[in-house]
Amino acid sequence: MLAKTLISKSLIPLKTSDTGEFAVGAMSEYNVKHFPIVNNEQLLGLISEEDIMKSDVSEAIGSYSLALSKAYVKDDEHLYEVMRLLGEHKLTIIPVVDGDDNYVGVITQHDLITFFAETGSFSEPGSIIVLEIPKRDYSMAEISQIVESEGAVILSSFITTNLDESVVDVTIKINKAQIHNIIANFERYSYKIKYSFQETEIFDTIKERYDSLMSYLNV
């Protein structure tokens, strides 16, 4: 799961001699809001729509001031680092460089989301439980033990911070549709169940929204 596995070379980077107007057209063509600027093989920076709107679109982008000039990843970095930078800088793409800091391509937000959506932890059937846990009591080993004691396994998990910094939300996806016994087991161990979503409930919600949309379109 390294950055090099998702590199796209179809997007032709901008040159410093390209105008802001040309850059906007390129962004529109690829449906992104950011674009790399490259001189030969050297990554000079990442230009955004905001950078262009603050400047004269008829001028060469080499004269622009770039707010995101240092946003990039190495090709041997993990995809989690790619996700972190995309989220931190609110990017639609991120440039990728090799060990010699030469530009090799980009990773788009769309490709990254598609990759994770197609991995087993997301595509396999199952259910979701969100636990609210004091940071000092968090133990993935104990959480896994509780789930596995009911003959299930955790397919994926992640932690999000709460408004109260002493508390975290732990989201786990489990490979079972029926999770009543698992929830009861967590409650026996005094875990707070913040949310739970069974596969059938998720499907019914999606179907209900789809039917509502079709009804609206047929009006």
Domain shared by 10 and 84, yes or no: yes
In a domain, 217, yes or no: no
Per-residue CA distances from 28 to 44, 68, 119, 175, 218 (Å)? 21, 19, 29, 40, 32
90: left (phi over 0), alpha (psi -120 to 50) or beta: left
Q: What is the CATH number of the domain that holds 8?
A: 3.10.580.10
Domain shared by 125 and 102, yes or no: no
Q: Is the pLDDT of residue 98 over 60?
A: yes
Mean pLDDT over 99-121 rounds to 86
In a domain, 215, yes or no: no
How many domains are contained in the chain?
Answer: 2
Note the pLDDT of residue 219: 47
Note the pLDDT of residue 164: 80
Q: How far apart are CA 94 and CA 97, in angstroms?
A: 10
pLDDT > 70 in the chain, percent: 88
DSSP letters spanning 55-79: S-TTSBGGGSPPTTTT--EETTSBH
Domain shared by 60 and 165, yes or no: no
Helices (H), the chain: 20-30, 49-53, 79-89, 109-118, 120-123, 140-148, 180-188, 199-217
Q: Which of these three, 116, 150, 180, is where a domain ends?
A: 116
Q: Reduce the DSSP state of residue 191 to 3 states and report it.
A: coil
Mean pLDDT over 99-105 rounds to 92
Mean pLDDT over 125-143 rounds to 93
Predicted confidence band at 135 (pLDDT cuts at 50, 70, 90)? very high
Note the pLDDT of residue 177: 87
Domain that holds residue 46: 3-116
Predicted confidence band at 80 (pLDDT cuts at 50, 70, 90)? confident
Nearest CA-CA partner of 128 in 157, 168, 161: 157
In a domain, 213, yes or no: no
Domain shared by 111 and 130, yes or no: no
Minimum mean pLDDT range among 24-33, 36-45, 132-141, 156-165: 156-165
Structure tokens belonging to residue 175: 């490979």
In a domain, 219, yes or no: no
Note the pLDDT of residue 162: 75
In a domain, 218, yes or no: no
Nearest CA-CA partner of 92 in 115, 111, 76: 111
Higher per-residue confidence, 213 vs 5? 5
Q: Which of these three, 86, 116, 146, is where a domain ends?
A: 116
